[in-house]
Structure 1
Amino acid sequence: MREYLEVWDHVSNKQKKGWQIAALGNATIEAFKTDRYQRWKLLDPKTQIVVSVHYYTPVTTSLQKNAEKLGQYLHSQVRQVPADSDWWITFRSLLDEMVKQLTVATAGTLLGPAMLADGNQVLMSASLPPVYNRKQFIELQQYSIIDVDYLDELPNPIDAKAVIWR
């Protein structure tokens, strides 16, 4: 969440330097006014064909809560827990769920949802995979039709033209 906040000028330095999960979660909601996924499609103006898709994938409330639970596991146990204990089953289930949640949360390339500034100016920040042509990303935005959707979850399967971290 800190990575999302650090690139935006309208976010205070205090919020950018936060370390508590709940505080960072509140700061992202305050900064972006949403915790929904954003799909940013760039379409060819002549053919209306999708040429590129980018996502803002927030750190969901569920993932934040799970991260706080994981923090509780960092404290050492008073006694050793047997390997066949329900404690381990619960712990492994939490880790498995978090792997899935983190895979989604880190897939997006937009560091926060794109936002409109005064007039027609779009403010956005992206972290693009090294294999993606950054110059092409900038050029596409200048000469494309932009279609923006807010989603409750990431599509499955994800768009074929999506630029994501894998």
Structure 2
Amino acid sequence: MSYGTSPHDYVSRAERCLQQNDPRYLFYAAFELRCAVEARMQQYLESWEHVSKKQKEGWEIKKLGSATERAFKTGDRVMRWRIDDEHETLAVLYYTPVTRKLRSNAERLGDYLHAPKKHHSEGDVWWSDFRALLEEMISQLRIATTGTLMGPALMKGNKIHMSTEVPPGTNLDQIYRHGATMTVHVDYLEELPATLETEAVVWK
């Protein structure tokens, strides 16, 4: 059996765990979500040469969060990179960060992933609070794992550097047509739009 370790793999397994009518699966979901947060930030950091090897090897949520903030300096803002030719939009790419709130929630999982100091009965609000946290994190991670830009595009001298991942089945040949004139529009958004463009290259 293959055990995928991409952020999307972790989120998918967590979703399946929450579909089970068994409280023990909440703990399994919490583990998967904690790993998803770590994996997404590590994925971002690994894509850039200016990030140190030590920062790339980290696993603690707080340290990974500090490293991504120093590397990109965009906070919780979403970056939209739209590519147009003379007639139409060819593609739209997004960078969707692991937000401070999501990182804070991931750290809160520690309250649940240690042996409890007291028994929690079936009707204890502790269980509903636990599930609510996990469901909130899944919603946040769906957004954080939507984008295909591995960090915001960065200027180095007079050149722009960017790193992307391309979902299976995606064809970007239209962007690389020889001699085509293209215009890039860059926006920083407070959040990912609820409805994405048909040209958006994202994980679904």
User: TM exceeds 0.5?
Assistant: yes
Q: Which residue of 1 aligns with 2:161?
A: 123
**Of 139, 144, 147, which residue of structure 1 is paired with 2:176?**
139
CA distance in 1, matches of 2:198, 2:101: 27
1:38 aligns with 2:79: yes
Q: Could you tell me how far apart the structure 1 residues matched to 2:191 and 2:182 are?
A: 25
State the TM-score, normalizing by the size of structure 2: 0.75
Paired residue for 2:69?
29
Q: What is the identity percentage for the equivalent residue pairs of Structure 1 and Structure 2?
A: 47
Task: Give the superposition deviation at 1:78.
Answer: 2.8
Aligned mates of 1:100, 1:80 — CA distance in 2: 29
Checking the alignment, whether the CA contact within 8 Å between 2:151 and 2:163 is kept in structure 1 is: yes
* Greater relative contact order (Cα < 8 A, sep 6+): 1
Counterpart Cα distance in 2 of 1:59 and 1:32: 12
* Contact 2:82 2:92 (C-alpha < 8 Å) held by counterparts: yes
Aligned: 1:164 with 2:199: no
Counterpart of 1:29 in 2: which secondary structure?
helix
Structure 2 residue runs without a partner (length 5+): 1-40
Question: Which one of 102, 114, 125 corresponds to residue 141 of structure 2?
Answer: 102
State the Cα RMSD in Å: 1.7
Match of 1:59 among 61, 77, 98: 98
The list of structure 1 runs, each at least 4 consecutive aligned residues, that deviate by more than 3 angstroms after superposition, is none
The one of 115, 129, 133 equivalent to 1:90 is 129
Unmatched 5+ stretches in structure 1: none
Are 2:52 and 1:15 equivalent residues in the alignment?
no
- Write 1 or 2 for the structure with the bigger share of helix: 2
Distance 2:127 2:149 in 1: 36
